[in-house]
Structure 1
Amino acid sequence: MQVRVYDDGAERDCLLVLGWGNRCRHENVRWLVDRLAERYRVHAVELPTHITDVRREWVAPVREYAADLDDFPILAHSAGGLTTAHLDVDGVTNRVYLSPWWGDDLPFPKAVVEALSRLPVTEPFLPTGTLEREAIGDLATEEQIRDGPDAASPAFLRTTRRAHASLPPARENAVAFCSLTDKIVDPRAIGERLPADRIRLYDGGHELFSSSARDRHIDTVLDALERGPGALS
C-alpha cells in the first residue's frame, strides 16, 4: 500500500482510498485530489493490485494508517469502497463512496466463477474484460487505460468474493454516488446496502472523476464529506 499526502495547509484530514489500479499520477485522480485539497489535507491511498487476502493486504494497512488521524471523512472509490466498508476505526465523520465495489459483476457465469475461485492459483490470468474508456469514463486517459489491471487471479477472485459476502451493514453516515450503467461494478449491490435517499445517481462511467458529469457533482461530493447524508436531501 502506498499513501501520498497532499498538504496545502488545510487543518482537517480526509482519507481518500482509491480503486483497483487507480494511481495518484493519473490526471483524473489528480483532478479529484486537487479539489479535495482545497479543503483538506488529503491522505491518498493506492491499494496494491494483485492480492490474495483483502483483510490482510487492503483493510489492515488502511486501518493501521487511519488510526493516527483525528475526526476525518472517508472518500472511497470502487475497491476502496469495499476496503473501507470493512474498516472500523475511530474518528470517521462521514463516508462517501464513489461506485463502491460491493458485489460481483464478473464476465463469467456464476458456476464458472465458483469453480475458478477454488483454483489454488495466485497468478493473474482471468481477463477483466471491461476496463476500456467507455466503461471507465469518457475523460479516461490513455495512461489510465494502459495502467488498468487486465487480469485477475483465482486467489484475488476468492478473497474479494469473501469480502463481498462478509460486508457489515452500511453505516448511518454513508452515502454513495454511482451510475446505473456501470459496467465494472454491480449498482444493484449498492442499492441493496443503502436506501435511495442516500444514493446520488450520475450519467457516466465507473469513475465519476473520469466522467464529464464530474463538474455537476463534485460540489455535492464535497458537501457530503462535510455533512453526510444531509447533503443529498
Structure 2
Amino acid sequence: MQIRVYDDGAEQDCLLVLGWGNRCRHENVQWLVDRVAREYRTHVVELPTHITDLQREWVDPVREYAADLGEFPILAHSAGGLTTAFLDDPGVTNRVYLSPWWGSDLPLPDAVVDFVTSLPVSKPVVPTGNLEGDAIGDLATEAQLADGPDAASPAFLRTTGRAHDRLPPAREDAVAFCTLTDRVVDPRAVGRRLHADRIRLYQGGHELFSSSSRERHIDTVLAALDRGPAAL
C-alpha cells in the first residue's frame, strides 16, 4: 500500500482512499487530489491491486495509518469506498463516497460466480472486460486505461464478495455521488445503503473525476467533506 501526503499548509487532514488500480500519477486522479489539497492536508491511499485478503491487505493498513490523524473526513472512490466502510475510527468527521463498490452486478449465473470464486487461484485470470474508457469516464486517458487492471483472481473476487456480504450499516455522516449508468459497480447497492437525500447523482462514467460533469459537482463534494449530508 502506497500513501502520499499533499501538504500545502492546510490545517485539517483528509483521508483520500483511491479505487482499484487508481494511481496519483494518473492525470484525472491528480485533478481530484489537487482540488482536495487546496482545502486539506491530503493523505492519498493507493490500494494494492491484486489481493487475497481484504481485511489484512486493505482495511487493516488504512485503519492503522488513520489512527494517527486525529479528526479528519474521508473521501473514498470505488474499492476505497468498500475499504473505508469497515473503518470505524472515532476521528472521522464525514464520509464522502464516489461510486462506492458496495456491490457488483456480474452478468453471470450465481452458480458460475460461486464456482469461479471457489477456485484456489490467486493469479489474475478472470478478465475485467468492463474497465473500458466509456465505462470509466469520457475524460479517461490512454495512460490511465493502460495502467488499469485487466483481470482479477478468484481469490480477489472471493474476498471482495465476502466483504460485500458483511458490510456494516452506513454511518449517519455518509453521502455518496454515483451515476445510475455505472457499469463497473452496482449503483443499486448504494441505494440500498443510503437514503435518497444522501445521494447525489451525476452524469458520466464510474469515475466522477474522469467525467466531464466533474466541475459541476466538485464544490459539492468539498462541501460534503466539510458539512456532511447537510451539504446536499
* TM-score of the two chains, using structure 1 as the length reference: 0.99
Q: Which residue of 1 aligns with 2:136?
A: 136
Query: Aligned Cα RMSD in Å?
Result: 0.6
Match of 2:166 in 1: 166
Matches within 5 A, 1:18-57: 18-57=18-57
Query: Deviation per CA, 1:158-215, whole angstroms, max 9, x where unpaired?
Result: 0000000000000000000000000000000000000000000000000000000000
Q: Take 1:133 and 1:37, find their aligned partners in 2: how far apart are those partners?
A: 26
Kindly provide the amino acid, as one letter, of the partner of residue 77 in structure 2.
Answer: H
Residues 30-89 of structure 1, C-alpha deviation per residue, up to 9 Å, x if partnerless? 000000011000000000000001000000000000000011000000000000001111
Query: 1 CA distance for matches of 2:139 and 2:107?
Result: 24
Matched letter for residue 193 of structure 1: R
1:1-233 maps to which residues of 2 (within 5 A)? 1-232=1-232
Mapped contact 1:77–1:100 kept (Cα < 8 A) = yes
Amino acid paired to 2:185: V
Distance, in Å, in 2 between the alignment partners of 1:108 and 1:65 is 37
SS at structure 1 position matched to 2:87: coil
Matched letter for residue 126 of structure 1: V
Q: Which amino acid aligns with 2:96?
A: V
Residue identity opposite 1:43 in structure 2: H
The unaligned stretches of length 5 or more in structure 2 are: none
TM-aligned CA deviation for residue 108 of structure 1: 2.5
Residue identity opposite 1:128 in structure 2: T
Q: Which SS does the other structure have where 1:90 is aligned?
A: coil
How far apart, CA to CA, are the structure 1 residues paired with 2:104 and 2:30? Answer: 28
CA distance in structure 1 between the partners assigned to 2:187 and 2:97 by the alignment: 12
Cα separation, 1, equivalents of 2:40 and 2:131: 30
Question: For the residues of structure 1 that align with 2:97 and 2:111, how far apart are their CA atoms?
Answer: 30
Output the CA distance in 2 between the equivalents of 1:204 and 1:34. Answer: 21
Matched letter for residue 224 of structure 1: A
Quote how far apart the aligned CAs of 1:90 are. Answer: 2.0
* Percent sequence identity over aligned pairs: 78
Q: How many equivalent pairs are there?
A: 232
Alpha-carbon offset, residue 105 of structure 1: 2.2
**Residues 107 and 129, structure 1, Cα contact 8 Å, conserved in 2:** no
Give yes or no for contact 1:107–1:128 (8 Å, CA) kept in 2: no
CA distance in 2, matches of 1:203, 1:97: 16
| Distance (whole Å) between structure 1 residues aligned to residue 40 and residue 4 of structure 2 | 13
What is the TM-score of this pair, normalised by structure 2?
0.99
Letter in 2 for 1:149: P
In the alignment, the residues of structure 1 paired with residue 150 and residue 222 of structure 2 have an alpha-carbon distance, to the nearest angstrom, of 31
**Secondary structure in 1 aligned to 2:124?**
coil
After TM superposition, which residue ranges in structure 1, 4 or more long, deviate above 6 angstroms? none
Structure 1 residue 110 displacement after superposition: 1.9
State the alpha-carbon separation in 2 of the partners of residues 193 and 90 from structure 1: 21
Give the match's secondary structure for 1:63. Answer: helix
